[in-house]
């Protein structure tokens, strides 16, 4: 007796891949964030079960043509996007090229000191050879003048 198995093949088409990049590093954000579409279609899970794929993208398949808004939500408020939504229109010219949305760290992010600000007057570095043995801090412009 011969047993036949029916195999069903389903083909899906990538409609959009969204990648969330850290503004300062230009690299995909490592944490899984919430990416949703205004039309409420669900994203495709990676093999790991996460909506974030190994390359940092969030993927949506088989979407009908038309406009949508992409919304990024950071549950713990450690990061944000400058615009509340990013408008897209399906079909994209090339769905394999991700729509990149920059994510900025908020003051609640780990590694951001409360009230920390970049130094004024450009980068500062210490001048080691002060006559009294003390170290003084010179701005970049002062250092360029001193190096002449």
Residues shown for the chain? 148
User: Is residue 114 domain-resident?
Assistant: no
**Between residues 133 and 94, the one the model is more confident about:** 94
**What mean pLDDT do residues 21-26 have?**
93
* Residue 132 scores a pLDDT above 50: no
pLDDT tier, 7 (very low <50, low <70, confident <90, very high otherwise): confident
What CATH number should be reported for the domain holding residue 94? 2.60.40.1120
Check pLDDT > 50 for residue 28. Answer: yes
Which pair of structure tokens corresponds to residue 46?
């990676």
- Do 66 and 137 lie in one domain? The reply is no
54 with 87, same domain: the answer is yes
pLDDT score of 15: 96
Q: Answer whether residue 21 is part of any domain.
A: yes
Name which of 1-10, 38-47, 51-60, 91-100 the model is least confident about. Answer: 1-10
In a domain, 113, yes or no: no
Measuring CA to CA, which residue among 120, 117, 131, 125 is closest to residue 144?
125
- Domain contains 56: yes
Whether 3 maps to a domain, the answer reads no
Q: Give the Å distances, CA to CA, from 12 to 17, 18, 70, 97.
A: 14, 17, 21, 17
9 falls within a domain: no
Q: pLDDT at position 124, please?
A: 38
54 and 80 together in one domain: yes
Q: Which domain covers residue 132, as residue numbers?
A: 120-148
Q: Identify whether residues 142 and 96 lie together within a single domain.
A: no
Contacts of 136 (CB under 8 A, 6+ apart): 126, 127, 130
Computed over every residue of the chain, the mean pLDDT equals: 80
Q: State how far the Cα of 15 lies from the Cα of 80, in Å rounded to an integer.
A: 25
Q: How many structural domains is the chain composed of?
A: 2
pLDDT for 62: 95
Q: Does residue 141 or residue 3 have the better pLDDT? A: 3
79 and 142 co-located in one domain: no
Residues 129 and 89 in one domain: no
């Amino acid at each position: 007796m011969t047993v036949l198995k029916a195999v069903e093949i389903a083909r899906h088409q990538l409609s959009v891949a969204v990648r969330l990049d850290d503004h300062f590093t230009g690299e995909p954000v490592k944490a899984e964030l919430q990416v949703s579409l205004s039309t409420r279609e669900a994203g495709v899970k990676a093999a790991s079960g996460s909506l974030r794929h190994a390359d940092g993208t969030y993927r949506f398949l088989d979407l009908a043509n038309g406009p949508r808004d992409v919304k990024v939500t950071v549950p713990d408020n450690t990061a944000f996007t400058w615009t509340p939504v990013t408008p897209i229109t399906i079909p994209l010219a090339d769905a394999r090229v991700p729509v990149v949305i920059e994510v900025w760290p908020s003051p609640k992010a780990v590694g951001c000191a409360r009230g920390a600000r970049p130094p004024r007057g450009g980068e500062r570095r210490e001048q080691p050879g002060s006559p009294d043995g003390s170290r003084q801090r010179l701005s970049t412009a002062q250092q360029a003048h001193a190096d002449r």
